[in-house]
């Protein structure tokens, strides 16, 4: 049986930089609004539930299409940032987990996980999704593939090296101890992480002008 205390380290990991997270993470592609609504056979979903909603990027994404959107998020810091950034009156946020949302049976047309499913215990989460969705409802987990593609292969390679260094330091400093993840903290400086070298290469190869970055999005679907 899943215990909420098992996720204490996960919650701690996402506490303290919610504003930066909200500013930096990519948004879902607009085509998903039409695709998922069509699969759910409803032009305007009555309720979309966004599990592990974080700062509400995906929840706000659905505000223009659904009658109501509920974001479920266990981390207070992330949920507070979501509330600050959300002006749409049809979007609300609740404290909860993907495996225990607190929502009614068969209440949602669509349930989503945006870049969050790998932080969730799969089977209890899928059981909860099946409970919350009405018959014919759609579950969609969508994730951006990293790194994004830029106009400079050198910048792309520098990003890969930077993330490899981050992973090494996470292990060295036990940053990931207690985390439950399926598939930086600790006072480390940008130099420790290799951010200075990464920034140097990107500035050199991409320049100071704005350049497009291209993300690929993977979508995993289920229909009850």
Q: What are phi and psi of 135, to 5 degrees?
A: -60, 125
CATH (residue range 4-144+215-223): 3.40.50.150
% pLDDT > 90, the chain:
52
The pLDDT of residue 94? 98
Q: Environment class of residue 70 by beta-carbon count within 10 Å: exposed (0-12), middle (13-18) or buried (19+)?
A: buried
* Cβ-Cβ contacts under 8 Å for 82 (sequence gap 6 or more): 22, 53, 54, 55, 56, 59, 71, 73, 93
Assess whether pLDDT exceeds 90 at residue 211: no
Residue 13 has pLDDT above 90, yes or no: no
Q: In the prediction, which pLDDT does 182 show?
A: 41
Domain ranges of the chain: 4-144+215-223, 147-214
Say what percent of the chain tops pLDDT 70. 83
The model's pTM is: 0.75
Instruction: Write the DSSP symbol of residue 170.
Output: H
So what's the pLDDT on residue 117? Answer: 93
């Amino acid at each position: 049986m899943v215990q909420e205390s098992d996720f204490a380290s996960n919650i701690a990991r996402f506490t303290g930089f919610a504003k930066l997270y909200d500013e930096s993470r990519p948004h879902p592609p607009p085509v998903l609004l039409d695709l998922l609504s069509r699969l759910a056979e409803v032009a305007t979903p009555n309720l979309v539930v966004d599990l592990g909603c974080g700062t509400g990027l995906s929840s706000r994404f659905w505000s223009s299409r659904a009658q109501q959107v509920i974001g479920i998020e266990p981390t207070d810091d992330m949920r507070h940032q979501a509330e600050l950034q959300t002006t749409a009156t049809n979007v609300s946020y609740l404290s909860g987990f993907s495996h225990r949302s607190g929502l009614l049976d068969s209440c949602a047309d669509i349930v989503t996980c945006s870049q969050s499913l790998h932080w969730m215990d799969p089977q209890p989460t899928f059981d909860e999704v099946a409970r919350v969705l009405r018959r014919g409802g759609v579950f969609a987990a969508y994730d951006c593939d990293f790194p994004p593609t830029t106009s400079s292969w050198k910048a792309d390679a520098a990003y890969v090296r930077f993330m490899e260094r981050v992973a090494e330091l996470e292990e060295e400093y036990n940053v990931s101890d207690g985390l439950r993840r399926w598939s930086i903290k600790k006072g480390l400086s940008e130099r420790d992480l290799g951010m200075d070298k990464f920034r140097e290469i990107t500035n050199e190869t991409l320049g100071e002008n704005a350049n497009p970055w291209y993300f690929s999005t993977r979508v995993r679907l289920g229909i009850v």
